[in-house]
């Protein structure tokens, strides 16, 4: 996954971005803004301050990695990167490389462990698997896998990043759940949602976990929604009111195909805008405003969307995906109906790969 840089970043946000790039970036102020946005503490909350995150992304894009690292503490830079990645606006890969090189040096420093765990998750969310995997290994070797070495949020972040990298086994899950249990008062619904997602991505890990782990997960996680970057549906709205305009168009195309379907459903905590019980399938438009793609990436599907697909697949649902460009080239209802009909007659996504 590649990110926008330089002039491309300015183009991403137009004149506002150009003004930011033309101004020397104040790194301490940048870190302060990152901390403020980090207080949102969830992907859903960051979706409500998207403009501020966009502005932060542009400012970071005007810096070289060494400039940012030289002007701030590593844990603050990790927090900044986590904010951007959680909002589907990850910085350039060079930032992840530069931070990753520093991790092994501080992986045993207690007050850095939580920030580094969040960085490991940020790298996974941005699709930089090699970096995320290395950070997870460095953290586990440095003691983060020991019970109570992380706060609840850091433990849930490490659990999800380890699961995404195929490294979450029963002993590691037990240690991280113990950290979560010890810091239970610090846990948010977003943290619990990440922990729930981790257990889905790490196939079979629950079968090898002890009763205390299972009891904690059942009590704390089974009823929480996953922390979706598209935002959480407000409790007072019907799920159908939470669809984007494009998703409503998709629903209308399915109606024209005479396919019974639901406008909004939750599968194992993951929200899907369009689904069909008749086909046991979810049909997804991969667009950034719906949490399905990066706002600043060259490729359509984001890591988070793939994780949601794996959640649906684990529950026995088939997944059909439609890219933004494919959908937007369809000019009228007839073209959309024909496209959807052909899609559903074909094979669903192959989700065997991580």
Interval 292-296 mean pLDDT:
91
Q: Are residues 25 and 105 in the same domain?
A: yes
Q: Is residue 230 part of a domain?
A: no
Task: Tell me if 66 is assigned to some domain.
Answer: yes
Contacts of 195 (CB under 8 A, 6+ apart): 155, 156, 159, 160, 176, 177, 180, 217, 220, 221
Q: In the chain, where does DSSP find H-type helix?
A: 6-22, 27-38, 43-47, 50-61, 65-70, 74-86, 93-106, 113-125, 129-142, 152-164, 170-182, 189-201, 211-220, 245-256, 303-314, 324-328, 333-345
Does 234 reside within a domain?
A: no
Same domain, 169 and 299: no
Do both 209 and 274 map to the same domain? no
22 and 132 in a single domain? The answer is yes
Distance of alpha carbon 329 from alpha carbon 332, whole angstroms: 9
- Does the residue 263 lie in any domain? yes
Domain termination site, one of 163, 191, 220: 220
Summarize pLDDT for 107-120 with one digit per residue, the tens: 777 788 999 999 99
pLDDT at 20: 45
* 8 A C-beta contact, residue 43 and residue 86: yes
In a domain, 135, yes or no: yes
Q: Are 61 and 23 members of one domain? A: yes
Shared-domain flag, residues 153 and 34? yes
- Tell whether the model's pLDDT for residue 210 goes beyond 70: yes
pLDDT computed for residue 28 by the predictor: 93
pLDDT of 111 reads 83
pLDDT at 298 over 70: no
The whole domain housing 62 covers 6-220
Tally of structural domains, the chain: 2
**Residue 43 pLDDT more than 90?**
yes
Whether 353 is in a domain gets the answer no
Is residue 3 scored above 50 in pLDDT? no
**Same domain? 139 vs 247:** no
**In the predicted model, is pLDDT for residue 6 greater than 70?**
no
Question: Which of 35-44, 309-318, 324-333: highest mean pLDDT?
Answer: 309-318
pLDDT tens readout for residues 319-341: 999 999 999 999 899 999 999 99
Q: Mean pLDDT, the chain, as a whole number?
A: 88
Single out the residue in 185, 220, 255 at which a domain terminates: 220
What is the Cα–Cα distance from 346 to 23, expressed in whole angstroms? Answer: 51
Residue 294: which CATH number?
A: 3.40.960.10
Both 192 and 243 in one domain: the answer is: no
Residue 183 is predicted with a pLDDT of: 85
| Burial of 127 from C-beta contacts in 10 A (0-12 / 13-18 / 19+) | buried
Pair 199, 263 in one domain: no
Single residue among 158, 187, 220 that ends a domain in this structure: 220
- Assigned domain for 176 exists: yes
Residues 43, 132, single domain; the answer is: yes
Are both 270 and 147 inside the same structural domain?
no
Instruction: Classify residue 233: in a domain, yes or no.
Output: no
What span, in angstroms and rounded, lies between the C-alpha atoms of 25 and 62?
7
Model confidence at 148: pLDDT above 90: no
Claim to verify: residue 13 and residue 153 sit in the same structural domain: yes
């Amino acid at each position: 996954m590649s990110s926008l840089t330089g002039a491309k970043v300015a183009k991403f946000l137009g004149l506002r971005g150009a003004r930011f790039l033309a101004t020397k970036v104040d790194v301490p102020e940048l870190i302060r803004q990152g901390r403020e946005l980090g207080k949102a503490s969830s992907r859903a909350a960051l979706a409500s301050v998207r403009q501020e995150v966009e502005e932060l992304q542009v400012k970071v894009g005007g810096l070289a990695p060494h400039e940012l690292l030289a002007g701030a503490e590593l844990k603050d830079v990790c927090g900044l990167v986590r904010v951007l990645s959680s909002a589907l606006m990850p910085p350039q890969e060079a930032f992840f490389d530069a931070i990753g090189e520093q991790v092994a040096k501080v992986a045993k420093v207690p007050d850095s462990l939580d920030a580094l765990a969040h960085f490991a998750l940020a790298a996974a969310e941005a699709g930089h698997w090699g970096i995320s995997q290395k950070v997870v290994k460095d953290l586990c070797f440095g003691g983060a896998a020991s019970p109570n070495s992380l706060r609840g949020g850091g433990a849930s972040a490490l659990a999800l990043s380890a699961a995404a990298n195929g490294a979450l086994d029963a002993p590691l899950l037990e240690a991280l759940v113990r950290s979560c249990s010890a810091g239970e008062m610090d846990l948010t619904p977003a943290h619990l949602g990440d922990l729930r997602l981790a257990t889905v991505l790490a196939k079979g890990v629950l079968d090898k976990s002890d009763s205390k782990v299972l009891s904690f997960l059942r009590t704390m996680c089974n009823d929480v929604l996953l922390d979706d970057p598209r935002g959480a549906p407000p409790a007072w709205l019907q799920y159908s009111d939470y669809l984007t305009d494009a998703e409503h168009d998709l629903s209308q195309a399915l109606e024209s195909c005479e396919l019974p379907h639901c406008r909004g459903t939750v599968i194992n905590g993951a929200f899907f805008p369009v689904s069909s019980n008749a086909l046991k399938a979810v049909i997804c438009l991969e667009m950034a405003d719906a949490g399905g793609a990066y706002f600043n990436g060259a490729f359509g599907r984001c890591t988070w969307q793939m994780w949601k697909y794996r959640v649906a697949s684990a529950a026995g649902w088939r997944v059909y995906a439609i890219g933004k460009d494919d959908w937007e080239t369809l000019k009228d209802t007839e073209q959309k109906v024909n496209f959807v009909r052909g899609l559903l007659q074909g094979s669903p996504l192959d989700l065997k790969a991580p």
